[in-house]
């Protein structure tokens, strides 16, 4: 059951990555130059209140150095790449390995 949830979350993250990549590709064609929108810009365009709440939560409750050192760097990366990596990690967690052995055993 838990593997299913991780794979479902991976599928949703991959869907968001594809949508963001299509938006960037459309903008690139329109501008005749490569356009890669940072995740921070996309988040601010969709919901600036949650972005501000997340920043204040991390700075107040966890650590300002965590925001400046790690999270701000991730938010500066292209959104499709961040969600693609996130989808890959979620899928790897939810992946079920096939058992080795018995493949060449006689029936």
Per-residue pLDDT for 49 more than 90? Answer: yes
**What is the pLDDT, as a whole number, of residue 13?**
95
Percent of the chain with pLDDT over 70: 92
The model's pLDDT over 57-106, given as tens digits with 9 standing for 90+, comes to 998 888 888 888 889 899 999 999 999 999 999 999 988 777 776 666 66
Q: Which residues of 29-41 are buried (b: 16+ CB within 10 A; e: fewer)?
A: eeeeeeeeeebbe
**What is the pLDDT, as a whole number, of residue 65?**
87
Per-residue pLDDT for 20 more than 70? Answer: yes
**What is the pLDDT, as a whole number, of residue 95?**
84
**What is the pLDDT, as a whole number, of residue 88?**
96
Q: What residue spans define the domains of the chain?
A: 1-35+79-96, 38-77
**What is the pLDDT, as a whole number, of residue 102?**
61
**What is the pLDDT, as a whole number, of residue 103?**
66
**What is the pLDDT, as a whole number, of residue 101?**
66
User: In Å, what is the CA distance from 92 to each residue of 6, 14, 70, 96, 97?
Assistant: 9, 13, 22, 9, 10
- As a whole number of angstroms, the distance between CA 84 and CA 78 comes to 10
């Amino acid at each position: 059951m838990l593997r299913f949830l991780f794979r479902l979350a991976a599928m949703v993250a991959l869907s968001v990555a594809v949508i963001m990549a299509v938006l960037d590709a459309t903008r690139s064609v329109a501008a005749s130059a490569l356009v890669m929108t940072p995740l921070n810009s996309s988040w601010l365009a969709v919901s600036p209140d949650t972005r501000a709440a997340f920043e204040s939560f991390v700075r107040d409750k966890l650590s300002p150095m965590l925001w400046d050192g790690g999270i701000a760097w991730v938010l500066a990366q292209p959104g499709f790449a961040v969600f693609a990596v996130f989808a890959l990690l979620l899928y790897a967690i939810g992946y079920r390995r096939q058992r080795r052995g018995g493949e060449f055993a006689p029936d």
